Structure 1
Amino acid sequence: MNDKLAPRVVETERLVLRQFSPADHADYSRFCADPDVMRYVGTGQANPPEITWRSMAGMLGHWAMRGYGIWAVQLRDGPLVGHTGFIDVPGWPGFELAWLLGREHWGQGYAREAATAALRVAHDALQRDRVISMIRPPNAPSIKLAKAMGAVQEGEVEMLGAPALLFVHPRHQ
């Protein structure tokens, strides 16, 4: 286990990044059941509520085992909008920064705000020199976001049976 720990809560101007709770299940299940939201995530399949529950439990388990993981992202004094954070499991191509938003929250800058805050945690609190994001080639909005955050495409990898572009996020100055 990494001896560095991430903060359990991170606040930005408009958002709160925090651990998932059972109360998030209904909204998160709605996001994960949307084929447009899920088409580039994992295997590209929408998830039923019971799989989404297991996913939330897995994210909490990642926190317990690693001391960092995926945060639920909510508006300050508002609803859940998605998730961001880290995937760092055996057999994965690297320490990955990931993000997902419910469709009604697209195009408002939330993904960039949340992912940028998470990247700061990766570099500052977790002292990670190499942070990657794996993005399916047709996912133009996520490619645009990764590039806007300064990430550079380093190649292509296989992710869960399909190709993904590998982006590397440089340390901020």
Structure 2
Amino acid sequence: MIQIPTLHTERLTLRGPDARDIEPMRAFYASDRSIFVGGPLTAELAWRQLGCEIGHWTLRGYGRWMVDVTETGQTVGNVGLWNPEGWPEPEIGWDLFDGSEGKGYATEAALAARSYAYDVLGWTTAISLVKPANQASAKVAARMGAYLDTEFTHERWGEMQIWRHPAPADIADGGMEAYS
């Protein structure tokens, strides 16, 4: 059984997904906020997506964390490392739940995930896939220092932009040391 690490940032706790996340995932995938990541979905399909998120950890040894505000325990999103079959290369991705946008949570959590990918897993590069109309996600990628590299067409998701993150050697601060 894989041991999913917990990461901590100044305001957030990134933890492994589990059964307590069924309701937040259901609510996210029922909303229009999920439009850029395959939604809206029925409750049954949202449950399957949570299973996919959990299973990715077993199949790849890494995955996406559920993001909680440390002070309150509120789950505000799903952020981390993603590389399912059909992806062009390993990705750093983020989904924020309704009411959690505009607070810097996506950037803060994604930077912690990128540091983990580079410092612990030894990744030398990473991308973020962004639907062309998803300007909010493009802004998060740009805040992280990523640049629009090229486009990719996925068999189910259609046209996506590939935002290339800076290599580990190009990141001035050297990482977050956020893992426990």
Q: TM-score, normalised by structure 1?
A: 0.90
- Counterpart Cα distance in 2 of 1:56 and 1:94: 21
Select the residue among 123, 126, 135 that pairs with 1:128. Answer: 123
- Counterpart Cα distance in 1 of 2:84 and 2:96: 22
The amino acid that maps onto 1:95 is P
- Deviation (angstroms), 1:89: 2.3
Select the residue among 96, 106, 109 that pairs with 1:111. Answer: 106
Select the residue among 10, 13, 18 that pairs with 1:13. Answer: 10
Provide the residue aligned with 2:24 in structure 1.
27
- Counterpart Cα distance in 1 of 2:24 and 2:157: 28
**Does residue 101 of the first structure (1) align with residue 96 of the second (2)?**
yes
**Does residue 86 of the first structure (1) align with residue 81 of the second (2)?**
yes
1:22-101 superposed matches below 5 A: 22-35=19-32, 37-42=33-38, 45-76=39-70, 77-101=72-96
- Counterpart Cα distance in 2 of 1:7 and 1:22: 15
1:152-167 superposed matches below 5 A: 152-159=147-154, 160-167=156-163
Instruction: Name structure 2 gaps, 5 residues minimum.
Output: 173-180
The amino acid that maps onto 2:45 is I
> 8 Å contact 2:64–2:81 — kept in the other structure?
yes
Instruction: Name structure 1 gaps, 5 residues minimum.
Output: none
- Deviation (angstroms), 1:24: 1.4
Sequence identity, in percent? 35
Q: TM-score, normalised by structure 2?
A: 0.87
User: 2:37 is paired with a residue of what secondary structure?
Assistant: coil
| Paired residues, number | 166
Deviating beyond 2 angstroms after TM superposition, the runs of 4 or more aligned structure 1 residues are: none
C-alpha distance after superposition, 1:19-52 (max 9, x if no partner):
11111111221111101x111113xx30122111
